[in-house]
Structure 1
Amino acid sequence: MIKIDALPAFSDNYIWLLQDLEQRRCAVVDPGDAGPVLAWLDSHRDWQLSDILITHHHPDHVGGIQPLKAATGARVLGPAQENIPARDLALRENDKVEVLGQRFRVIEVPGHTLGHIAYYQAEQHWLFCGDTLFAGGCGRLFEGTPAQMHDSLTRLAALPEHTQVYCTHEYTLSNLRFAQTVEPGNPQIAQRLQEVTAWRAEGRISLPSNLALERATNPFLRSAEEAVKAKIDQRDGVQNRSPSEVFARLRAWKDNF
């Protein structure tokens, strides 16, 4: 049995901690800071950190790799097309890797960075997507193009609707405020915004999400919807014909929201 917990890091990062309760082994996803992981291991002395999974090269996702590897000898997995410190296994599209007895498929999702990857476990319906797909939103385009990010999000959105979305930032509330501005008549967005507002007031994490919820409420997965297209056309005063064009306008709007 695998248990998944979030270790908070920095101001709004989450380091995902996968725990094999029988073997007392664990793995982490995107440890930008070694501190929270080392603290957990210090309070769980009979556990072994076996693997470190990395989605992309940004410092808040890789900063803890080298201290963790030095302390535990854990294997480091990361995208082949990016410079990942202490990487042992370079991963590309459709590679299969086994972590804690679970088989993950690698999906290349350029956009936020050019070499960004996601890890998908089909039987458990887990998606560790880094800074590509967020709950209610998506990552900024630091290296890739809008067309690349739109294609990456479309591929992730095509996974089964019950897929659990484990992204790495607590951005949900601000993302949903933007989503409601884009689609003020969408009752599912209004309901989700109310729910997440209450959760965050209680100090509760808003993750994981799931793809059914994202398809219904995330504007960046809804650029083909008439209401979203109409809002963008109204705002920009031009007719955006393709979902990719609508996505590009949405992302530019969100950048300054």
Structure 2
Amino acid sequence: MSSSAQTKTIHEFLAESPDVDSSELWAEFWQILSEAKERIVAELPVQPHPASEGLDYWATEDGSYEGSMHTFSGDQSVEGAAAEWLVHSWIGNRKSSILDMNLQVWLGPQVDVPHLILVFGTIPQVFFYSECVARRDLMVDADHLARYYEPENEKFLALRGDDRFTWSVSHGTYMRAFLSPIAHSYVAERTDDVVETLRRVVTDRVDTWLGWVRDAVATPVEDRPALHARDHRVRTLGYTLDPMNELSKKFLGAERVDELVAVRAGFTQMKENS
């Protein structure tokens, strides 16, 4: 595996194959994410949030870029695990190589279970990113590391050692700082076996994460404000500093991208619940 393959930018991938129809892959990956979302909301009830009104489906006038976004929020007055913010979205062009499909679940401060992020993309090769966002500083909180990350180490190493998947290095320094010890960030060929492997990886990750949610220990009440503020800061930086935003600006312009990022990040919801 060459280092150049790991650090190739999405722009470079797209320049090599700019007009590949990814409609079938979009359907398969969107189904995987949609099934994961339904499993999650069955245990963590949410309601549609008005931030994404009008974005059920949208497209540019020339059809060069399209997408869909649905935002949800949960009841933060309950004890136990609750989803504070859930986003189910996609953006790109199904017939011209580039797609970015997301399911992101941000929990409230009642518990400190890691947040969950699942991303599929086409560039036009398959892109896959999955993260369990740490709620504590893993360099000093060995208990948090041992509880949530150490048990997943062998699974991480198994996929990391699968030669069908090439590690994909973000060119954004913040996004690299964002990574936990069990993050997945890969590029792979567009084959049925790759899709089925990733389907199993997502199913297992959601199974594991929901198990954490069920077994969550309540965060001490006095610790919740600081955890909540940290969560909001991580959400803000994770969305606004994503290098993918710069690619979208080439198609949509900076103003429109900033609007969509604000909706995905949930700026309105954060103000409502600060």
State the TM-score, normalizing by the size of structure 1: 0.27
Q: Greater relative contact order: 1 or 2 (C-alpha under 8 angstroms, separation 6 or more)? A: 2
The structure whose residues are more often helix, as a share, is 2
State the TM-score, normalizing by the size of structure 2: 0.26
The structure whose residues are more often strand, as a share, is 1
